[in-house]
Amino acid sequence: MEYEMKFCVGCYLPLAMDLTAKLLEANSHDEELSLKIQPGKAGSFEIFRDGELIFSRAKTGKLPNTADLDLGHAQRIEQDLNSENSGSCC
């Protein structure tokens, strides 16, 4: 699975880093995961999954959240992030 985030760095860098970290944590053993972050136009925030636009701030008028990352896996992502960490990933 490939994700690409294009966003206004001046506005949304912390949010993009948080979403990137959540994706990595939720898919930590998925060697097929690919993440690309790219500067975008002022005020913009877009997320693409496998080349398809899955979120656009311009279209929704809101900022993305975890559910916007992958609609089919949002529940699993939230469960993975909320589960207790034993201190070891393997």
What are the pLDDT digits (tens) for 29-69?
Answer: 888 889 999 999 999 999 999 999 999 999 999 999 888 88
Answer with the residue of higher pLDDT: 43 or 80: 43
Topology (CATH) of 2-82: Glutaredoxin (3.40.30)
Compute the mean pLDDT over every residue in the chain, rounded to the nearest whole number: 82
- pLDDT of amino acid 26: 82
Higher local confidence (pLDDT), 89 or 24: 24
Domain boundaries, the chain: 2-82
Number of H helices, E strands in the chain: 4, 4
Residue 21 pLDDT more than 50? yes
C-alpha dihedral sign at 25, 26, 27, 33: negative
